Structure 1
Amino acid sequence: MDVEQPGIKADEILIKVVASSLNYHDLMVALGQIPTEDKRVLLGDASGEVVDTGPDVSRWQVGDKIIALVSRAGSKVGPKKPS
């Protein structure tokens, strides 16, 4: 699926997701048992690569391989702040 690449803020990173998994919570979202807001996607965790960083980011660099453990499945598509 091709989507427009979102812009990022000075303290954010953009991740290209290479692999993800669906878990029981994701199933409940898909079945409508757990309501979500617009532009939500199913995703409990993922692995990928940093493809862009804001100028204030020092911990991550483009090309870094990462895993992302999303504490709230159904996060909005777009940039995320590193924790």
Structure 2
Amino acid sequence: MCRGKLNLVLLPSSSMRLTFVCDDGYPEQLALLSNDFEFSEVMIEEISADNSGRSFLIRISESKVFYYWCAEKSKED
């Protein structure tokens, strides 16, 4: 399991890039989102079986699902 940061970047072309960067500095591009590309929709869903509220999944398509667990729970205002 790799710790790191999930980045969503809006590009000048109005596309969005979803990238995960591990603590070792290695970036993994998960998706490039645009109306012109294969994947134009991303869904972020909580994992209801996890009562800690720290895990979620990112669904880019039926075959591309990424699972994440947050080391720190986000603060709710």
TM-score by length of 1: 0.24
More strand by share: 2
The answer to which structure, 1 or 2, has the higher relative contact order (CA under 8 A, 6+ apart) is 1
TM-score by length of 2: 0.25
More helix by share: 1
